[in-house]
Amino acid sequence: MSRASELAYAKIRAHLLSGAVQPNEQLTEDQLAQITGVSRTPVREAVRRLEDELLLVRSDTKRLFVADWSRDDIEEMFALRQMLECHAAERAARRLSRAKITQLEAVNHALKDAIAQTPPDVARFLEANRCFHEAIVDAADSPRLGQMLGRLVEAPVVLRTARTYSLEDLKQSARDHDELIAAFAARDPDWARAVMGSHLRRAFHTFAKSVGPKGGSAGLDQT
Amino acid sequence: MSRASELAYAKIRAHLLSGAVQPNEQLTEDQLAQITGVSRTPVREAVRRLEDELLLVRSDTKRLFVADWSRDDIEEMFALRQMLECHAAERAARRLSRAKITQLEAVNHALKDAIAQTPPDVARFLEANRCFHEAIVDAADSPRLGQMLGRLVEAPVVLRTARTYSLEDLKQSARDHDELIAAFAARDPDWARAVMGSHLRRAFHTFAKSVGPKGGSAGLDQT
DNA sequence: CGGACGCTATTTGTATACAATAACGGTTTG
DNA sequence: CAAACCGTTATTGTATACAAATAGCGTCCG
């Protein structure tokens, strides 16, 4: 994307995740234009992307509001991500070159380094983790799949989840990645799918524990 | 969407599917604005949607081209649709009210009527079919899932596929729908998923047969 | 003759002014 | 007192003018 439009997207997104706004709060394009320092034209483009990611929603009369994510919404989001990313892992297992697998190993090595710090460097962990999963989706070589997962992974919940990881959770993630790499090296799509499935399903339960039992809006509220 | 923007979307889409343009042909926003009779602003919004649906693509320098769908792209598109719509069927089986199931029966009745014509009324069949599947996705009650499937089903290939249906194919579709309804009535998610899976997979093979063996661009070319 | 440079024309990106539409509030009327 | 109507204000949608970036082409220099 172009400069102003990309800037607007980043700033609005940061604004939403910062907690400066409440779920269901109304926003106007003018406000956002002021906040971002660009005109409404690129703001509207940024807003469209954020609507795609369901961070913003429009009322029936086109007015703009901060989205409210229910616990069910989030659960469904995890389910979709699992479904799509398992598929990606399966395809990747058939396509990954030896060189790419080596790259994955390097990324997971960096991830382990981040964990080995005291205290663990969560930011670096997240970045390495993102990079690892992105490489797999890339290797799946399906534009649409990549597009869909791109939108899901942008979801705010993913960010919040990792904050609640315990050290043991982080280590288990690294082990999952190791096993994924093994499945790729063995060119075993079924194995890769299965590992990815349990990897992501565990992430969901980690999240579920951290937000407590069912019911209520678990989205962007800063409790 | 708003009037001009929606109009632009519809006109551009029709223009693409009409065969007046070739895959990889360049388009400009100005051209499209002239064709649609609105200014570039709503055209840009329409173009963004068509990019989402991968009917249009942008070069690395933001220039706009008609997308070229390879046979592999289409195969992957079917696979994704199958994955998502099976999931939708599963969720729908848990949620569909008796009243909604009755509505599905009515829709499928209309579909059978369309088939019973001599010759079969393919347009009405397609409309009823779209309606049937849409109702299921609706019942799945997952905004993201709906969004994703919306984009996939918009894909041009779906339209072309039905043109090659034989009468027997059409009848089999109706039978599949009947069985889906039975699975919903029984509130059996596994059954619903399985029926949906074979239903869509068969559609893929019908398509695959019609475009011939692997290799080459099977997308928008008007052969 | 080939390749690199720079000019021009084309195309996309952004700002702004204006039009259309929807919400709000006050008033009127049954 | 409630509900519908109308004018005002707020908000989104569209057109247009202009700015930035990019491609295409001709020329100049080696």
> In the structure, what pLDDT confidence band is assigned to residue A210 with cuts at 50, 70 and 90?
confident
B147 near A CB under 8 A: yes
List of residues 6+ apart from B145 with CB closer than 8 A: A76, A80, B84, B87, B88, B91, B137
**Nearest-nucleotide field for B41 (CA, C1'):** D14
Q: Is residue A216 domain-resident?
A: no
- B128 and B190 co-located in one domain: yes
Tell me which of A54, A76, A87, A152 to substitute to probe the interface with B (most B C-beta atoms closer than 10 Å): A76
| B55: CATH | 1.10.10.10
List of residues 6+ apart from A37 with CB closer than 8 A: A7, A11
- B44 and B84 co-located in one domain: no
Q: Residue A156: what pLDDT?
A: 58
| DSSP SS3 for A35 | helix
Listing DSSP states for A116-134 in one string gives HSSS--HHHHHHHHHHHHH
Nucleotides of C under 7 A from a protein CB: 10-17, 21-23
**Nearest-nucleotide field for B42 (CA, C1'):** D14
Q: Is residue A146 domain-resident?
A: yes
Q: Is residue A222 domain-resident?
A: no
Tell me which of A70, A144, A154, A158 to substitute to probe the interface with B (most B C-beta atoms closer than 10 Å): A144
- B60 and B75 co-located in one domain: no
Residue pair A170/A115 in contact (Cβ under 8 Å)? The answer is yes
Nucleotides of D under 7 A from a protein CB: 10-17, 21-23
Residue pair A85/A196 in contact (Cβ under 8 Å)? The answer is yes
> In the structure, what pLDDT confidence band is assigned to residue B220 with cuts at 50, 70 and 90?
very low
pLDDT(B149) > 50: yes
pLDDT(A26) > 50: yes
pLDDT(A211) > 80: no
Q: Residue A18: what pLDDT?
A: 86
B182 beta partners = none
- B100 and B200 co-located in one domain: yes
Q: Residue A202: what pLDDT?
A: 93
- B84 and B31 co-located in one domain: no
The string of pLDDT tens digits covering residues A28-86 is: 999 999 999 999 999 999 999 999 999 999 999 999 999 998 888 888 899 999 999 99
| B111: CATH | 1.20.120.530
Q: Residue B115: what pLDDT?
A: 95
> In the structure, what pLDDT confidence band is assigned to residue B163 with cuts at 50, 70 and 90?
low
| A34 CB inside 7 Å of strand D | no
A148 near B CB under 8 A: yes
- φ, ψ (nearest 5 deg) of residue B65: -135, 155
A56 beta partners = A66
Q: Do B80 and A87 touch (CB under 8 A)?
A: yes
The string of pLDDT tens digits covering residues B29-39 is: 999 999 999 99
CA-CA distance, B164 to B218, in Å (whole number)? Answer: 14
CA-CA distance, B90 to B189, in Å (whole number)? Answer: 4
CA B107, distance to chain mean position in Å, is: 17
| A118 CB inside 7 Å of strand C | no
**Distance from the B164 Cα atom to the nearest Cα atom in chain A, whole angstroms:** 25
| A30 CB inside 7 Å of strand D | yes
Q: Is residue A223 domain-resident?
A: no
Q: Residue B222: what pLDDT?
A: 44
Q: Residue A206: what pLDDT?
A: 85
Q: Residue B165: what pLDDT?
A: 75
Residues of A in contact with B2 (CB under 8 A): 62
For the ranges A56-65, B176-185, B198-207, the lowest mean pLDDT is seen at B198-207
Residue B195: HSE in the Cβ half-sphere, 13 Å Cα cutoff: 23
Query: Residues of B numbered 149-168 whose beta carbons fall under 8 angstroms of chain A's beta carbons: which are they?
Result: 152
**B84-105 average pLDDT score:** 98
Q: Is residue A19 domain-resident?
A: yes
pLDDT(B161) > 70: no
- A149 and A40 co-located in one domain: no
pLDDT(A25) > 60: yes
**A87-92 average pLDDT score:** 98
pLDDT(A222) > 60: no
Segments forming the whole domain that contains residue A166: 71-211
CA-CA distance, B47 to B55, in Å (whole number)? Answer: 9
- A61 and A80 co-located in one domain: no
Q: Residue A161: what pLDDT?
A: 54
Residue pair B161/B210 in contact (Cβ under 8 Å)? The answer is yes
CA-CA distance, B83 to B102, in Å (whole number)? Answer: 26
- Domain boundary, last residue among B47, B66, B85: B66
- A9 and A35 co-located in one domain: yes
- B163 and B180 co-located in one domain: yes
**A170-179 average pLDDT score:** 96
- A77 and A174 co-located in one domain: yes
**A127-151 average pLDDT score:** 93
Q: Do A148 and B80 touch (CB under 8 A)?
A: yes
- Domain boundary, last residue among A38, A66, A94: A66
Q: In 3D, which of A218, A180, A221 has the Cα closest to residue A198?
A: A180
pLDDT(B47) > 60: yes
Find the helix or strand (DSSP H, E) in which B66 lies.
Answer: strand B64-66
B145 near A CB under 8 A: yes
**A114-122 average pLDDT score:** 92
Q: Is residue A219 domain-resident?
A: no
The two structure tokens encoding residue A177: 């990645």
B70 beta partners = B217
Q: Residue B221: what pLDDT?
A: 45
B57 beta partners = B65
CA-CA distance, B216 to B219, in Å (whole number)? Answer: 9
The string of pLDDT tens digits covering residues A64-75 is: 999 998 888 888
Find the helix or strand (DSSP H, E) in which B27 lies.
Answer: strand B26-27
- A126 and A174 co-located in one domain: yes
Residue pair A103/A221 in contact (Cβ under 8 Å)? The answer is no
* N residues, chain B: 223
A62 near B CB under 8 A: yes
pLDDT(A220) > 50: no
B148 near A CB under 8 A: yes
Q: Is residue A36 domain-resident?
A: yes
Pick B18 or B162 by higher pLDDT. B18
A122 near B CB under 8 A: no
- A35 and A75 co-located in one domain: no
Q: Is residue B220 domain-resident?
A: no
**A84-99 average pLDDT score:** 97
Facing B48 at nearest CB: one of A2, A48, A84: A48
Facing A148 at nearest CB: one of B62, B142, B148: B148
Number of domains in chain B: 2
- Domain boundary, last residue among A26, A43, A66: A66
Residue pair A137/A95 in contact (Cβ under 8 Å)? The answer is no
Q: Residue B19: what pLDDT?
A: 83
